Chains A and B, each alone.
Chain A
Amino acid sequence: MATERNQKENEARVKRKPLISIPAPVDSLLAGWAGLALWLLLLLLLALYPYTGVSSVALFVGSQIFVLVTLASNWNLIGGMTGYVDFGHAVFFGIGAYIMGILVTGSPLLISPEWGFWQALPASGVAAALFALLIGLPTLRLKGPYFSIAMLGTLVAMREVARVLRPITGGGVGLNLPPLLNRLGDYYLMLAVMGLVVSIIWWIQRSEFGQSLIAIREDEIGAEMRGINTTLHKIVAFMIAAFFTGTVGGFWAWQNTYIDPDVVFVEARTVEMVMMSMLGGLGTVWGPPLGAVVIYFLQDLLWGSLFGVHLVALGVLLVVIVLFMPEGILGTLGDRSSTSLGRLLSRVGRSK
């Protein structure tokens, strides 16, 4: 009996082995200080990039990629590391965008003089973090798909709130922000925000706080029973993720110079964050940035070569990736901190 069980366990162990394993030195290199050093080196190279005489379009593309990397990394903090798959994370992006819009235009709240960009940008993040606290206290009690649906509902509700609060948000007409074109400034600002966010995620993952988040993801009851204040950990992670997503929303509103409810409170933005994290490796530090870059260029490539059916092709490709690489690129390569969306969404059955 016992032998039979051991045999089954051995078989299961063989099945669990990744297809390809990252050689141990590379794995530890990415996880430790060397990983951060490589990241800082990459940031330095990116900081020098504008000096190579690139066009303003290239700078714009750069800042867009940095936005995507930041959003994916933020989503990964609550979705991948903590295991709370947030299908409404774009709500924080929208709140950040609207706070920026309202403060810099001033008129809706009769603010005089209007706030400047540098004052409004942190305010966007703070507002999103406070909203995360407010909404997180009830929703983070839910598990698995229940949390996901509750957050999706929050996103839809906030879109309607923005539409209804016409005197403040401009309603369906939206808000026009001052058009100030500064591609180089945008590039460096988003490079800095991206650099900071990914470095923070790196730091969090190796800290006891980050390991507690992963413990919550793996077994929340077990974590609570072993002395981890799960509510506090989840709320803090949620607020950090919301703060930076709100900050990026504020920046995006400034760069885009126009916002309305259908542009900022949009489900597709969350889907984008989920896809990028999933492709790179949910719960890993470097997976979401990798996924964001791959998806950005993949979209570009498919648009150029399969125009007309490029979205279908992207969809099919992603389905294939989910089916055959459920733990993303880094998970397939043997990164132990990765997980799959299926595992996270099945958490409801393991709550007790």
Chain B
Amino acid sequence: MTSDQQPLLEGHTISKYFGGLAAVNNVDFAIYRGEIVGLIGPNGSGKTTLFDCLSRLQNIDNGQVFFKGRDVTRARPYQVARMGLTRTFQSVRVYRKMTVLRNMLISHQWRDTSILRMLQPSHASTAARAHQLLDFLQIGHLADEEAGHLSGGQRRLLEIGMALMPDPDILLLDEATSGVNPTLIETIKDRIRTLNEQGKTFLLIEHNINFIADLCSRVYVLNYGEKLAEGTPQEILQNEAVIDAYFGA
């Protein structure tokens, strides 16, 4: 990553307050195309709130967010999603009453928002892409199952698949390995690596430090809503302030 390259996603002095509590306080960051960046910190450090601010689920009290060079500080969530920023959630959000395939199809349809398109069923090519992604995530055999019937780990994979359906530029994954068994964690890790090689950019919130160390080129650390440190995983793991705050040493 070179500093002369324009960041894909950039935040300037982002702050978010809940009453008197500064959940995120003056956080600056920049993510470049093709990177896998980690975001770590103790519980309550503001990681998910920052994700919510970036994906526009939460309004920002101060600061600015730029995506692909455009100011999206006041954009609606569906607008940044359409620009190519998709995300997953700490507690998985899938449409539980729909089939796995339908979940995937519905996450893609805004690629063409003409009225004529909206009045038709999903296109066959969309279904083909959905099946391809489900196979890639190793849940292809569950396509006709109701999403609410899947296990926690399978739902995580489905949610990642849904975020991938519109072929986004960047994926924000919020604790993608939480509640997932070790085998599936390896699958997720492998898939993220493959997608990154294909050009996808990732911002990952994780508590699983090995996962972060294996995948990420850079890591940001938050503590009490403030940026505590940034650097390579090796630098972060040796940073005394991080060890003190995060690992409780």
Contact = CB atoms under 8 A, between A and B. Distances in A.
Dominant secondary structure at the A interface: helix
Given A211-B122, A215-B95, A218-B96, A226 B106 contact: yes
B77 A208 contact: no
Contacts of B47: none
B57 A211 contact: no
Interface string A199-220: 0000100111101101100110
A236 to B, nearest CB: 9
Contacts of A212: 106, 109, 118
B61 interface: no
Interface in B98-132: 98-99, 102, 105-107, 109-110, 113, 117-122
B148 interface: yes
Contact of A209 (B81, B102, B118, B163): B118
Interface string B142-182: 00001011011000000000110010000000000001010
A211 B105 CA distance: 9
A221 B57 CA distance: 8
A148 B79 CA distance: 28
Nearest to A338: B97
A224 B77 CA distance: 6
B119 A230 contact: no
Contacts of B179: 5
Contacts of A215: 95, 98, 106
Contacts of B81: 224-227
A208 B122 contact: yes
Nearest to A215: B106
Contacts of A229: 76, 78, 110, 113
A207 to B, nearest CB: 5
Interface residues of B, number: 40
Most buried by A among B55, B78, B81, B94: B78
A9 interface: yes
A336 B145 CA distance: 11
A141 interface: no
Given A226-B106, A227-B166, A208 B117 contact: yes
B73 interface: no
A211 B87 contact: no
B86 interface: yes
A222 B181 contact: no
A6 interface: yes
Interface centre among A9, A206, A226, by most B CB within 10 Å? A226
A228 interface: yes
Given A5-B152, A219-B95, A203 B78 contact: no
Contacts of B70: none
A339 interface: yes
B95 A228 contact: no
Contacts of A218: 95-98
Contacts of A5: 152, 179
A9 B98 CA distance: 17
Interface in A94-118: none
A297 B150 CA distance: 41
Contacts of B120: 207-208
26 contacts: A2-B181, A13-B149, A207-B119, A207-B121, A208-B120, A208-B121, A212-B109, A212-B118, A214-B95, A218-B95, A218-B96, A223-B106, A225-B57, A225-B78, A225-B81, A226-B81, A226-B86, A226-B106, A226-B107, A226-B110, A227-B78, A227-B86, A228-B106, A228-B109, A336-B97, A336-B99
Interface of B: 55, 57, 76-78, 81-82, 86-87, 89, 93-99, 102, 105-107, 109-110, 113, 117-122, 146, 148-149, 151-152, 162-163, 166, 179, 181
Interface of A: 2, 5-6, 9, 13, 16, 203, 206-209, 211-212, 214-215, 218-219, 221-230, 336-337, 339, 352
